[in-house]
Amino acid sequence: MATRYSPTIRRRRLSSELRRVRLASGKTGEEVARTAGLSKSTFSNIESGVKKRPRIREVRAILDACGMEPGPEFDEVLLLCRQALDRGWWSRYRDVVASPYVGFETEADDICTWQPLVLPGLLQTPEYMRVTAQACLSVPHDIRRFTDARLIRQRILDDEDPPLLRAIFDEGALLRLRTQPDILVRQVRHLLEMSERPNITVQMTLADRLNPGSGGPFVIMDFPHPVDPTVVYLETTADGIYLEDSDEVARYRTLAEHLRLVALRPGETLDHLRETYLEAPSARSGRP
């Protein structure tokens, strides 16, 4: 996507490219490190991605040591290095957001999310963000920063080439707003409005039915560049868990497909939202 890129993805891709170049040269890491004038640990950390912000001169020395001639490919790798040195906007909010996750989400072109407890973050209204943050006992300063960061995250949906978003959530996320009917109605209307976009699909599992997603929330993110592997994000109280192993990714793809099958179909979901939360007498009167 030309209009947005993530330093997080570019750092990961840079590591992949450097490893590919070294393997193509037939040289060991120790040989490349010695020729490039780097310590073995420095080279290893750059190639593995442990060193998040390698210097351009270090990358240039590695490419020279691998025998890569100056040209378009050489320049493309150096461009990755320059982009990897950037800082994403989320670095300013690292106290209230999971920075690696936002880094992946920013460049993903296909996002599939399952949320059994709350609504997907990309589809939340500011009012919903605030009440859920308050429920987590956040202080006012953190609530403001959390809300600001989430609103910035949502801008990817307004990009000229937005990601495909397939959002599945459990109805319980809405039922918990019954005591705040104004927020509930605004949130439902927002879901209906966002669902009109061709790149967004919303499905809901009913609160009174069992489903296979009781293990917790997850997000599957695919990327436009074929060298960037799929990432599955498992939310935790800390930074979260990131899975890239192909077997683990396949397992969560299967789980997502099962959830889509047991959930209301997209059209049924929208009908249920309108009939239950907008057209019901309690919704019209503003009573919970």
pLDDT digits (tens, 9 = 90+) for 152-170: 999 999 999 999 999 999 9
pLDDT of residue 139 exceeding 70, the answer is yes
- The Cβ of residue 288 has, within 10 Å, a number of other Cβ atoms equal to 11
State the pLDDT at residue 282. Answer: 54
Domain boundary among 32, 61, 84: 84
pLDDT digits (tens, 9 = 90+) for 164-202: 999 999 999 999 999 999 999 999 999 999 999 999 999
pLDDT digits (tens, 9 = 90+) for 239-257: 789 999 999 999 999 999 9
Mean pLDDT throughout 258-283?
A: 90
* Same domain, yes or no: 74 and 158: no
Q: In what order do the strands lie in the sheet with 164-170?
A: 200-205, 164-170, 110-115, 218-222, 231-234, 241-243
CATH number at residue 126: 3.30.870
Q: What percent of the chain has pLDDT over 90?
A: 75
Burial of 62: CB neighbours in 10 Å, binned 0-12, 13-18, 19+:
buried
State the pLDDT at residue 5. Answer: 78
Q: Which residue has the higher pLDDT, 188 or 13?
A: 188
Residue 136: pLDDT band with limits 50, 70, 90:
confident
b/e per residue, 119-130, with b = 16+ CB within 10 A? bbbbbbbebbbb
Burial of 284: CB neighbours in 10 Å, binned 0-12, 13-18, 19+:
exposed
* Same domain, yes or no: 101 and 65: no
* Same domain, yes or no: 77 and 99: no
> Would you list the DSSP string of 146-209?
HHHHHHHHGGGGGSSSPPEEEEEEETHHHHTTTT-HHHHHHHHHHHHHHHTSTTEEEEEE-TTS
Residue 147 CA from chain centroid, whole number: 17
Least reliable range by pLDDT among 35-39, 55-59, 117-121, 235-239? 235-239
* Same domain, yes or no: 219 and 252: yes
Mean pLDDT throughout 270-283?
A: 84
Phi, psi of 114 (to 5 degrees): -120, 125
Q: How far apart are CA 54 and CA 232, in angstroms?
A: 26
Q: Which residues contact 63 (CB under 8 A, 6 or more apart)?
A: 21, 74, 77, 78
Domain boundary among 84, 109, 134: 84
* Same domain, yes or no: 60 and 137: no
What's the mean per-residue pLDDT of the chain? Answer: 91
State the pLDDT at residue 287. Answer: 46
- Total domain count, the chain: 2
* Same domain, yes or no: 69 and 204: no
Residue 3: pLDDT band with limits 50, 70, 90:
low
Domain that holds residue 152: 94-285
pLDDT of residue 281 exceeding 90, the answer is no
* Same domain, yes or no: 239 and 127: yes
pTM score of the predicted model:
0.87
pLDDT of residue 23 exceeding 90, the answer is yes
State the pLDDT at residue 2. Answer: 41
